[in-house]
């Protein structure tokens, strides 16, 4: 069992995939709190529907970025959170939070890192013309989407893909790999060597997912 604290800014469909995995019994976790930086984040409705405590913290009410992240850290520590989940949290995480949860903050990014970090990963992939893109769950460090990669999933990109169609295809896989990464953490199977995340007793499907599966000839 692992205590989670989720940070979200918007729709919260990844938050929902984690709730669903817990409720269907495939993930042994307890979501202690949802923290949002937007008062109208759709994620709040999801928390309400599932009886999850939710808190809105207004960044404008703090003197500095550090002060805002100190407040977030205080809430998470008070709630006995063991792993912090960024689920569409559209801010660069401040040092106070990173220092309080070393290698205990996960983020999901809609591209195959280190390609296309930052905002609009799907749009950048379409504009660049890559043939494969996907999503990445990684531990958070002080850089922008630079922390150690935990799990990735790949999708094909076709000539007629738009940002929207690619985003949709990637999102379906985000909803699979995020609960999976948390499951690996909960099972105590993740360790970090250098910048590589090692997965203990790894089965082939656990390091990456390709959808649709590629047939090798
Ligand atoms: C997801 O696609 C997530 O990968 C992305 O925002 C979306 C949030 O959706 N995150 C980033 O781009 C972070 N740089 P959701 O609110 O429905 O989970």
Question: Is the shortest distance between the CB of 106 and ligand 1 below 6 Å?
Answer: no
Question: Is the shortest distance between the CB of 13 and ligand 1 below 6 Å?
Answer: yes
| Beta-sheet strands, E only, within 65-143 | 83-86, 105-109, 132-139
Ligand 1 mean position, distance from CA 109 (Å): 7
Nearest CA to ligand 1 atom 2: 110
Ligand 1 mean position, distance from CA 110 (Å): 7
Ligand 1 mean position, distance from CA 111 (Å): 10
Pairing of strands 105-109, 132-139: antiparallel
Position 14 confidence tier, pLDDT thresholds 50, 70, 90: very high
Question: Is the shortest distance between the CB of 91 and ligand 1 below 6 Å?
Answer: no
Question: Is the shortest distance between the CB of 36 and ligand 1 below 6 Å?
Answer: no
Return the ligand 1 atom nearest residue 43 CA. 16
Among 54, 109, 138, 175, the active-site one is 109
Residues 34-91 have pLDDT tens digits of 999 999 999 999 999 999 999 999 999 999 999 999 999 999 999 999 999 999 999 9
Supply φ then ψ for residue 56, to 5 degrees: -105, 125
Ligand 1 mean position, distance from CA 216 (Å): 31
Q: Domain 1-101 belongs to what topology? A: Rossmann fold (3.40.50)
- CATH number for the region 108-217 comes to 3.40.50.170
Cα gap 194→199, rounded to integer Å:
14
Residues 144-191 have pLDDT tens digits of 999 999 999 999 999 999 999 999 999 999 999 999 999 999 999 999
Q: Which tokens is 54 given?
A: 């939710």
pTM of the model: 0.95
Answer yes or no: 138 catalytic. no
Q: Which tokens is 100 given?
A: 């309080």
Q: Give the helix/strand (H/E) hosting 153.
A: strand 149-156
Ligand 1 mean position, distance from CA 211 (Å): 19
Cα gap 28→26, rounded to integer Å:
7
Question: Is the shortest distance between the CB of 134 and ligand 1 below 6 Å?
Answer: no
Question: Is the shortest distance between the CB of 14 and ligand 1 below 6 Å?
Answer: yes
Among 50-54, 89-93, 113-117, 204-208, which stretch is predicted with the lowest mean pLDDT? 204-208
Residue 83, classed as helix, strand or coil, is: strand
Q: Choose which residue among 8, 105, 110 to substitute to test ligand 1 binding: the one with the highest number of ligand atoms within 8 A of its C-beta.
A: 110
Widest CA span in the chain: 60
Q: Which tokens is 170 given?
A: 């990637």
- CATH 3.40.50.170 residue ranges for the chain: 1-101, 108-217
Residue 24, classed as helix, strand or coil, is: coil
């Amino acid at each position: 069992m692992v205590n989670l604290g989720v940070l979200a800014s918007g729709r919260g469909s990844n938050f929902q995939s984690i709730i669903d995995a817990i409720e269907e019994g495939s993930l042994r976790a307890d979501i202690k709190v949802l923290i949002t930086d937007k008062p109208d984040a759709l994620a709040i409705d999801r928390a309400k529907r599932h009886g999850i405590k939710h808190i809105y913290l207004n960044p404008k009410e703090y003197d500095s970025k550090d002060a805002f992240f100190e407040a977030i850290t205080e809430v998470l520590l008070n709630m006995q959170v063991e792993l912090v989940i960024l689920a569409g949290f559209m801010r660069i995480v401040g040092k106070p939070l990173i220092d309080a949860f070393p290698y205990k903050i996960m983020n999901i990014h809609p591209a195959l890192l280190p390609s296309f970090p930052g905002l609009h990963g799907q749009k950048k992939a379409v504009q660049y013309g890559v043939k494969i893109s996907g999503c990445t769950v990684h531990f958070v460090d002080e850089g922008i989407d630079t922390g150690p990669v935990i799990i990735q999933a790949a999708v094909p990109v076709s000539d007629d893909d738009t940002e929207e169609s690619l985003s949709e295809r990637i999102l379906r896989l985000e909803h699979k790999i995020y609960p999976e990464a948390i499951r690996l953490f909960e099972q105590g199977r993740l360790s970090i060597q250098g910048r590589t995340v090692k997965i203990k007793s790894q089965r082939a499907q656990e390091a990456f997912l390709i959808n649709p599966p590629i047939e090798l000839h």
